[in-house]
Chain A
Amino acid sequence: MSQRIVIDPVTRIEGHAKITIELDDTGQVTDARFHVTEFRGFEKFCEGRPLFEMPGITARICGICPVSHLLASAKTGDAIMAVTIPPAAQKLRRLMNLGQMVQSHALSFFHLSSPDLLLGFDSDPAKRNVFGLIEANPDLARKGIRLRQFGQEIISLLGGKRIHPSWSVPGGVRGPLTIEARDQIKANLPEAFETVGIAFDILKGYIRDHAGDLQIFGNFPTLFLGLANSGSTWEHYDGFLRIVDSTGNIIADELDPNDYKSFLGEAVEDWSYLKFPYYKPFGYPEGIYRVGPLARVNLCRTMGTPRADAELEEFRLATHGAHNSSFLYHYARLIEILASLERIEEMVSDPELQSSRLRAQAGINCLEAVGVSEAPRGTLFHHYKVDENGLIEKMNLIIATGQNNLAMNRTVAQIASHYISGKQITEGMLNRVEAGIRAYDPCLSCSTHAAGKMPLQIQLVDADGTILDEVIRG
């Protein structure tokens, strides 16, 4: 008798989703799907609103990475105003994005994923969360929380608040980095560096002991997409788009984000609210590509800072081209935290960050534009069409997590096939399936279920829809 296992909701991710696993008569996995069960509607209700409100409204899409939307939206606004923003404003936007990389990656690693790595995939689910981590290793948990706080503070010092600052606006930014704020960031940098070093030790230790996980957690060839620059150093704010293949060869380079529709398609499936973007020249679903930390690290030559480059070199020792295991998103994330900290250290002393020339003024000089930035989870596209007065006529947002949708589904299927057999299903096996999703750090909405409070419901359903067994956790 065939069976279906439903994991609903998926825990320790940002947002609401469920996973279904289909089993055949012999209990072998035939299919597995990652369903995004929430619907937001931002693209629709922004229609008719003024362009200048867009950064503030679209930032509300997410409470974890509002800065990404703030930046992509403001950049779209810059293009519609047809202005080059003041140099200081660009530097400040970069600084805020680096702060966000640190806080979001720290959240992903310490709050959401480290319980699996440190306490074990099969450990008690009631304690396999950040509170369990606090109990088991309070000093480490505190350091992780403090690292996230460091990134959040940069956002807050620039934008006035940690979440949803409406600071980056079409034309520039609303305020500089004050001297006091600069000194506060400088003072907290050493501790942040120390914590990321500890995180590297934890992850490298885990990989040494569990090398097999790399083969199972989403290990398959795909394309990788992200922002790049002419120097091929790690890019997170501007530049052009680059696509590399699974061996690291450049497939397409210097792609203009404004032309994204010519090379990116969006497929829709009736079982998920999340679209399935793909690389058009390769078709659907063969045009599967991944974005985010792993993609960014795979498609740059150097990180551009010494300590991060040393880590990148070590990361690449194992492979000659691109890394294909999604488990290594965790690794790439740590390299990006380190690179962000080094760049913050470099740029924070720049006196231009105290400039008062921060905002270009202009009206509506262009009726359509695309703005792109690198969110912690990957490349984010905002595409607006406005009327001649600046009211939004049409909006299309391509979110990083959406672009990883195909890869997340394939990851779920790969892990499920490896670990699950209908004869004996344990909670720890299902947790590994969830962890496959967590590696991508998907951001499905503006809510965080980091506390492990959400129950995990697993149903075994036969082909007729009869529930054969049910396990409820939480």
Chain B
Amino acid sequence: MAVKTLTIDGTLVTAQAESTVFDAAHEAGIFIPSLCRLEGVTTTGSCRLCLVEIEGSNRLMPSCILKVDEGMQVRTDTPRLREYRKMIVELLFAERNHTCAVCVANHNCELQDLAKSVGIDHVRYEYTFPKAEVDITHERFGVDHNRCVLCTRCVRVCDEVEGAHTWDISGRGTNSRVITDMNQPWGDAQSCTSCGKCVQACPTGALFKQGSTVAEMQKDRTQLEFIVTAREKKQWIG
């Protein structure tokens, strides 16, 4: 098996040739923040939180889709990266209506954890306060667009793991919305199998179980990795 040796934050790291910088860093115990990435589904590199600096290049690279290379010198934690990451998370907060105190996912939210980890104590940008809908037409689940960060985890997990492809994205830019089927109410989406994988995959309180009250929506994302491993490798490892 071919391996590559690279340097991440001054530490020599050996990784399999097809590995990404993100995975190699995590193998080596080096934390890189991420949001759109989810174990068990394809990576898209869209949230830009896992950007890293590569010696010899002025371009910042998303580590979740960047393959390791021999002699590569990676920096994951520099003042420039820290500032950009903070900016990205602040912009996510400014773009929708996130109110942690009364959110079903309070204390169980990856966006909230990220905000803490990048040191956000206030948002420097003007909030856009978009008018966003809540759709609770589905018998078991609900979607609150106020809390959606457009990570597309729901789209990918529904397409790649469940195979239903109920979720998709409509619109462009700040008008983008996750939709079910042909932009119908979720309760009318015939392709939905009500498996709930999208709810488990969602990093925030945007997708939730009906009847959830404040801070009650706990999500188990390891379940998705378990399903994928079981299906592809025939290994049922909890």
Using a CB–CB cutoff of 8 Å, the interface residues on chain A facing chain B are 48-50, 52-53, 55-57, 60, 164, 166, 169-171, 174, 361, 363, 389-391
Bound Cα distance from A50 to B101, whole angstroms: 15
Inter-subunit contact B102/A57 (CB<8 Å): yes
B28 at the interface (CB under 8 A from A): no
Q: Which residues of B contact A390 (CB under 8 A)?
A: 136, 210
Inter-subunit contact A389/B102 (CB<8 Å): no
Given contacts A60-B101, A164-B101, contact A50 B214 (CB under 8 A): no
Inter-subunit contact A55/B213 (CB<8 Å): yes
| Additional pairs, 4, CB under 8 Å, beyond known A170-B211, A170-B213, A389-B187 | A60-B101, A169-B213, A389-B137, A391-B136
Q: Which residues of A contact B136 (CB under 8 A)?
A: 50, 389-391
Bound Cα distance from A57 to B134, whole angstroms: 15
Name the distance in Å between B44's Cβ and chain A's nearest Cβ. 30
Contact of B211 among A57, A60, A361, A391 (CB under 8 A): A361
Name the distance in Å between B108's Cβ and chain A's nearest Cβ. 13
Inter-subunit contact B102/A60 (CB<8 Å): yes
Pull 21 A–B residue pairs with CB atoms less than 8 Å apart, ordered by A. A50-B142, A50-B210, A52-B211, A52-B213, A53-B102, A53-B104, A53-B213, A53-B214, A55-B214, A57-B102, A164-B101, A166-B102, A166-B213, A170-B213, A171-B211, A174-B213, A389-B136, A389-B137, A390-B210, A391-B134, A391-B136
Name the distance in Å between B72's Cβ and chain A's nearest Cβ. 48
Q: Which residues of B contact A174 (CB under 8 A)?
A: 213, 216
Inter-subunit contact A56/B102 (CB<8 Å): yes
Bound Cα distance from A361 to B140, whole angstroms: 12
Q: Which residues of A contact B101 (CB under 8 A)?
A: 60, 164
B78 at the interface (CB under 8 A from A): no
B 199-238 binary contact with A (CB < 8 Å = 1; else 0): 0000000000011111110000000000000000000000
B 128-165 binary contact with A (CB < 8 Å = 1; else 0): 00000110110000100000000000000000000000
Name the distance in Å between A77's Cβ and chain B's nearest Cβ. 9
Q: Which residues of B contact A53 (CB under 8 A)?
A: 102, 104, 213-214
B 84-127 binary contact with A (CB < 8 Å = 1; else 0): 00000000000000000110100000000000000000000000
Inter-subunit contact B216/A50 (CB<8 Å): no
Name the distance in Å between B181's Cβ and chain A's nearest Cβ. 17
Bound Cα distance from A169 to B142, whole angstroms: 18
Bound Cα distance from A50 to B136, whole angstroms: 8
Q: Which residue of B lies closest to A164 (CB)?
A: B101
User: What 6 pairs across the A-B complex have the smallest Cβ distances?
Assistant: A56-B214, A166-B214, A169-B213, A389-B136, A57-B102, A56-B102
Name the distance in Å between A30's Cβ and chain B's nearest Cβ. 45
Contact of A52 among B137, B212, B215 (CB under 8 A): B212
Using a CB–CB cutoff of 8 Å, the interface residues on chain B facing chain A are 101-102, 104, 133-134, 136-137, 142, 187, 210-216
Bound Cα distance from A174 to B218, whole angstroms: 14
Inter-subunit contact B213/A49 (CB<8 Å): no
Name the distance in Å between A8's Cβ and chain B's nearest Cβ. 30
Q: Which residues of B contact A50 (CB under 8 A)?
A: 134, 136, 142, 210
Bound Cα distance from A171 to B213, whole angstroms: 11
Bound Cα distance from A56 to B187, whole angstroms: 25
Bound Cα distance from A56 to B208, whole angstroms: 16
Q: Which residues of B contact A48 (CB under 8 A)?
A: 133-134
Name the distance in Å between A340's Cβ and chain B's nearest Cβ. 26
Inter-subunit contact A56/B134 (CB<8 Å): no
Name the distance in Å between A200's Cβ and chain B's nearest Cβ. 38
Name the distance in Å between B230's Cβ and chain A's nearest Cβ. 30
| Interface hub of A50, A361, A391 (most chain B Cβ within 10 A) | A50
Q: Which residues of B contact A169 (CB under 8 A)?
A: 213
Bound Cα distance from A162 to B210, whole angstroms: 27
Q: Which residues of B contact A389 (CB under 8 A)?
A: 136-137, 187
Q: Which residue of A lies closest to B101 (CB)?
A: A60
Q: Which residues of B contact A164 (CB under 8 A)?
A: 101
Q: Which residues of B contact A56 (CB under 8 A)?
A: 102, 213-214
Q: Which residues of A contact B187 (CB under 8 A)?
A: 389
Q: Which residue of B lies closest to A169 (CB)?
A: B213
Q: Which residues of B contact A171 (CB under 8 A)?
A: 211
Bound Cα distance from A34 to B213, whole angstroms: 37
Bound Cα distance from A52 to B215, whole angstroms: 12
Q: Which residues of A contact B137 (CB under 8 A)?
A: 389
Q: Which residue of A lies closest to B99 (CB)?
A: A57
Q: Which residue of B lies closest to A392 (CB)?
A: B134
Name the distance in Å between A317's Cβ and chain B's nearest Cβ. 47
Q: Which residues of B contact A361 (CB under 8 A)?
A: 211
Bound Cα distance from A50 to B212, whole angstroms: 9
Q: Which residues of A contact B142 (CB under 8 A)?
A: 50
Bound Cα distance from A60 to B100, whole angstroms: 12
Name the distance in Å between A445's Cβ and chain B's nearest Cβ. 16
Bound Cα distance from A99 to B55, whole angstroms: 62
Name the distance in Å between A68's Cβ and chain B's nearest Cβ. 17
Bound Cα distance from A361 to B136, whole angstroms: 16
Q: Which residue of B lies closest to A54 (CB)?
A: B213
Q: Which residues of B contact A52 (CB under 8 A)?
A: 210-213
Name the distance in Å between B32's Cβ and chain A's nearest Cβ. 33
Q: Which residues of A contact B215 (CB under 8 A)?
A: 166
Name the distance in Å between A253's Cβ and chain B's nearest Cβ. 35
Q: Which residues of A contact B102 (CB under 8 A)?
A: 53, 56-57, 60, 166
Bound Cα distance from A389 to B134, whole angstroms: 10
Q: Which residue of B lies closest to A48 (CB)?
A: B134
Name the distance in Å between B216's Cβ and chain A's nearest Cβ. 7
Q: Which residues of A contact B212 (CB under 8 A)?
A: 52
Q: Which residues of A contact B216 (CB under 8 A)?
A: 166, 174
Q: Which residue of B lies closest to A160 (CB)?
A: B215
Name the distance in Å between B176's Cβ and chain A's nearest Cβ. 20
Q: Which residues of B contact A391 (CB under 8 A)?
A: 134, 136
Name the distance in Å between B205's Cβ and chain A's nearest Cβ. 10
Q: Which residue of B lies closest to A56 (CB)?
A: B214
Bound Cα distance from A164 to B106, whole angstroms: 13
